[in-house]
Amino acid sequence: MPEENEVKPWSGEGLPPVGAVCEFAGGTNCAADPFDKDLKEGAKVTIIAHFKCGDFTLAAFTFDPENPDRGMVQVEQGNFGCFRPIRTPEQIAAEERMRGIEELRANAPGIAWLSAAAIYDAGYRKEVQP
């Protein structure tokens, strides 16, 4: 019999279950209720509750603002599109690679994607001059 406090696995669909640790994926800010300025995309969050707000079901979550003036934990709320499962190091590396290839293509218009990928994979990177 599963323990009462056991967190159910989350596939990334819908809202994460209460108790889940996941990443903040950003989301659409509401002008009337914007996200906390110290809440960054990729921040680890812990889902602490689900609640109804009109027709929507939202998740309340905690996060570390990484701001010494704010304390250790802050609380926010978000809809289902605001969360994603914690990415593996391989997923993070793949996303960084894609960003690097797209940056290379943006700086060299007309370069083919495969050529940009080969240049990136060979270790070439744009260096910012001081």
pLDDT, one tens digit per residue, over 76-86 is 999 888 999 99
pLDDT at 121 over 70: yes
Question: What mean pLDDT comes out for the span 31-59?
Answer: 88
Instruction: Say how many CA atoms lie within 13 Å of 110 toward its Cβ.
Output: 0
Residue with tokens 């323990």: 3
- Please state, in angstroms and rounded to a whole number, the distance separating the CA atoms of residues 117 and 111: 10
pTM of the model: 0.69
Say if residue 12's pLDDT is above 90.
no
pLDDT of res. 71 = 81
- Whether the CB-CB separation of 74 and 38 falls below 8 Å is answered with yes
Which pLDDT does position 1 carry in this prediction?
A: 44
pLDDT at 27 over 80: no
Q: 3-state DSSP call for residue 105?
A: helix
